[in-house]
Amino acid sequence: MFEWLHPALIYLAAALLVPLVPNRKARAFLILLVPIVGIIPLLTTPFGDYLQLSLFGETLTTFRFDKLSFVFSLVFSLAAFLSLIYAWHVRDTMQQVAALLYSGSAMGAVLAGDLITLFVWWEGTAIASVFLIWARRTEGSYQTGMRYLIIQITSGVVLLAGAAIHYRETGSLAFEAFSLENVGAWFILLSFGIKCAFPLLHNWLQDSYPSATVTGTVILSAFTTKIAIYSLARGYAGTDFLIVIGATMALFPIFFAVIENDLRRVLAYSMNSQLGFMVVGIGVGTDLAINGTVAHAFSSVLYKALLFMSVGAVLFRTGTAKGSELGGLYKTMPLTMVFCVIGAASISAFPLFSGFVSKSMILSAAAQEGHFVTWAILLFASAAVLHHSGIKIPYFAFYGRDSGKRPAEAPRNMLLAMGLTAFLCIAIGVWPNALYSVLPFDVSYNPYSTTHVITQIQLLFFSAIAFAALIRMGLFPRQVRSVILDTDWIYRKLLPAIISFVVLFVSAVWSEIVRGFNNTITAVQNTLANFYGPEGRVARVQPTGYMVLWLAILLGAALIVNLVGLP
């Protein structure tokens, strides 16, 4: 019915209208109406390809609607709606416009049916989202935003290069499953990997998300990395080495998340770990694994948003998100604390919460295909997430050492957004079939089998005991003001230092070369001046006898040459 109406265009049109609405309340209502209107085409349009364009003889599909794109566009709509409720109090036009453009570009990316359309929306998300970082209006956020923009634009350039090479090799621009026998497919995979925060390509995530505004971080957490997960699921399902990459992603951020003091950075590292579960599912590639990946992406958008919302509310009221400066906030922010605990239970995969019914599908798929080492790694990562996100964040923010801070409860719009998100986290956990029914493949799966429930409860129980014991014995890393060195040290410190050294060295060498050249020129000039200058030897008046002698010598030389017969 509404196949002629692209959901992304609704967001873009609203972004153009928002600055023209002078009344703040009317503007806020208009913004909140956008995701409600934007979801209508998703609920009324049959699956198929729509809004196709012809470009240089190639057909571009700007609106491909199938089960995979439907799930991601649905959760993106929910995330946009909840984030905009959370940001209801914001009166910054730049943030409002950026949020709409970013949400719309994300929607356009998951509905793109060809690589050119994907590239346009891919870069749209990069350009729009950076303003959510710059909106903090500090020197640090400006520098962080520039690094973020460079990395995201680079991802888009690599994607465009891959699309061009892929077209030359195959003659197709369709965004579908790729073969790694083609060079272009490797470029495209690298582009997706940058946006998905693959190991060694990941630090833009921890660098940028905590530097955004309180509301901007919530919006950022929902879209960029999930677009990459969608793209990997679309193009590289069943690619074996993604299992190794995903297992590494699930494992390595654990150490950083445990020792990190900034709670928003803890959540960024935790997000990296959760993305690892999804990448493993894509690498396994079976119907159950892909369903698990999509379900976990859906759940992750919600519980990550909830955790960022709760920590953001703490930051909004106290001015800090550092564990070393917080504690005891449950006394004056009890509702925020409850919502944070619900988010923590969801990410920790407690039974009856969303993470339990989605993460278990990936673990089951890995075990069924015989990837037992990977299964063990994911099981360890599941236990570890309880430490760094499930317990650490609520404990150090709301309990632990009493900081003496007594801030007011979060604003009502923030509480409403957190309440709705918490309800969805519980609803998915209690009624998983509602989520399972919209997944790409028809797979019968029961997460609440006796074995799985008991195994997970035991895992969480012993992990909680370990956390309590470490805290009791003083062995858990203390939350202190510190700088955590990660691979971003390479491009933020090491490379600039090397470049500065090379510049100084080259400048010094060049200066010596120039000085030596100038000295040589000066010496030549002095020598010529000694001979041909006003006081030089040639300029002196010579006796007649000398002139006659030289004339005789020249005539003799000419006579000898003539006699010898030289030419």
Q: Could you read off the pLDDT of 188-224 as tens digits, one per residue?
A: 999 999 999 999 888 899 889 999 999 999 999 999 9
Same domain flag for 183 and 75: yes
Residue 418 CA to residue 199 CA, distance in Å, equals: 31
Domain membership flag for residue 477: no
Indicate the angle between helix axes 183-196 and 115-134, nearest 10 degrees.
20
Identify whether residues 313 and 194 lie together within a single domain. no
d(CA 34, CA 98): 14
pLDDT attached to residue 435: 94
In a domain, 469, yes or no: no
What is the residue-level pLDDT of the chain in tens, covering all 567 positions?
667 789 999 999 999 999 988 888 888 889 999 999 999 999 999 999 999 888 777 889 999 999 999 999 999 999 999 999 999 998 889 999 999 999 999 999 999 999 999 999 999 999 999 999 999 988 889 999 999 999 999 999 999 999 999 999 998 999 999 989 999 999 999 999 999 999 988 889 988 999 999 999 999 999 999 999 999 999 999 999 999 999 999 998 888 888 888 899 999 999 999 999 999 999 999 999 999 999 999 999 999 999 999 999 999 999 999 888 898 899 999 999 999 999 999 999 999 999 999 999 999 999 999 999 999 999 989 888 887 788 889 988 898 788 888 999 999 999 999 999 999 999 999 999 999 999 999 878 899 988 888 888 888 888 888 777 877 777 666 666 666 767 777 777 888 889 989 999 999 999 999 988 888 988 887 887 776 666 666 666 667 776 777 778 888 888 887 777 655
Q: For residue 373, which amino acid is it?
A: V
3-state secondary structure of 202: coil
For residue 489, what pLDDT is reported?
76
d(CA 19, CA 517) in angstroms, rounded, equals: 61
The half-sphere exposure of 498 on its side-chain side, counting CA atoms within 13 A, is 6
pLDDT at site 404: 84
Residues 9 and 155 in one domain: yes
Judge if 271 and 209 occupy the same domain: no
Beta bridge partners of 54: 59
Strand partners, 49: 64
| Shared domain check, 321 and 219 | no
Shared domain check, 23 and 135: yes
Mind listing the pLDDT tens digit for each residue in 50-70?
Answer: 998 887 778 899 999 999 999
Angstrom distance (rounded) from CA 162 to CA 186: 7
Helices (H), 285-402: 287-318, 334-347, 354-368, 372-385, 392-398
Distance of CA 173 to the CA centre of its chain: 25
What pLDDT sits at residue 567?
53
Q: Is 238 helix (H, G, I), strand (E, B) or coil?
A: coil
Quote the Cα angle for 484-489-491, to 5°: 155
Collapsing DSSP states into helix, strand and coil, what is residue 262?
strand
380 is a domain residue: yes
Q: What is the CA radius of gyration of the chain?
A: 33
| CA-closest candidate to residue 109, choices 247, 229, 278 | 229
Phi then psi dihedrals of residue 49, to 5 deg: -105, 130
Domain that holds residue 402: 237-433
For 353, 371, 391, the CA distances from 430, given in Å and listed in that order, are: 7, 29, 22
Can you give the pLDDT at residue 242? 96
Domain end among 208, 228, 248: 228
Indicate whether 474 belongs to any domain: no
Is 173 part of any domain? Answer: yes
Can you tell me which residue has the tokens 């709409």?
100
Say if residue 194 is in the same domain as residue 278. Answer: no
pLDDT at site 42: 92
Total tally of structural domains belonging to the chain: 3
Does residue 250 share a domain with residue 173?
A: no
CA–CA distance, 268 with 88 (Å, rounded to integer): 24
Residue 187 belongs to a domain: yes
Q: Do 33 and 153 lie in a common domain?
A: yes
Look at residue 73 and tell me if it is in a domain.
yes
Q: Of 166, 194, 228, at which residue does a domain stop? A: 228
pLDDT of 109 reads: 96
SS3 content of the chain, % helix, strand, coil (to 5): 75, 5, 25
List the structure tokens of 15.
């972004």
Encoded tokens for 512: 């010596």
**pLDDT (0 to 100) of residue 566:** 52
Residue 62's H or E segment, with its range, is strand 58-65
399, 414, 433: which is the final residue of a domain? 433
- Cα–Cα distance between 59 and 342 in angstroms, integer? 46
pLDDT at site 385: 87
User: What is the spatial distance between Cα 4 and Cα 532, in angstroms, rounded to a whole number?
Assistant: 88
Please check whether residue 261 is in contact with residue 324, taking contact to mean a CB–CB distance below 8 angstroms. Answer: yes
Same domain, 214 and 303: no
Domain shared by 138 and 173, yes or no: yes
Do 174 and 153 have their domain in common?
yes
Residue 458 belongs to some domain of the structure: no
